[in-house]
Amino acid sequence: MNRTLSDPKKAYVMWGLLAVNVLIFFILEAVGDSENGYFMFRHGAMLTSAVSEDHEYWRFFTAMFLHFGADHIFNNMLVLFAIGTFLENGIGHGRLAAIYLLSGLGANITSHLINVQNGDEILSAGASGAVFGLMGAMIFAGLFARDLTGALSPIQIIVMLGLSLYHGVSEAVDDAAHLSGLAYGFLLALVLLKLFPPKERLREAYYGYPYGGDGLS
Segment (H or E) for 47: strand 46-47
DSSP 79: H
Segment (H or E) for 124: strand 123-124
Catalytically annotated residue among 67, 111, 178, 180: 178
Q: Are 4 and 67 in contact (CB under 8 A)?
A: no
Question: Could you tell me the sign of the dihedral formed by the alpha carbons of 83, 197, 192, 146, in that order?
Answer: negative
Residues shown for the chain? 217
Catalytically annotated residue among 93, 128, 167, 180: 128
Contacts of 108 (CB under 8 A, 6+ apart): 46, 59, 60, 63, 64, 124, 129, 177
How far apart, in whole angstroms, are the C-alpha atoms of residue 43 and residue 185?
Answer: 27
Active site residue 34: no
Hey, what's the torsion of the CAs at 62, 24, 99, 130, to 10 degrees? -80
How far apart, in whole angstroms, are the C-alpha atoms of residue 113 and residue 108?
Answer: 9
Q: Return the bridge partners of 46, or none.
A: 124
Active site residue 112: no
Would you name the residues annotated as active-site residues?
A: 128, 178
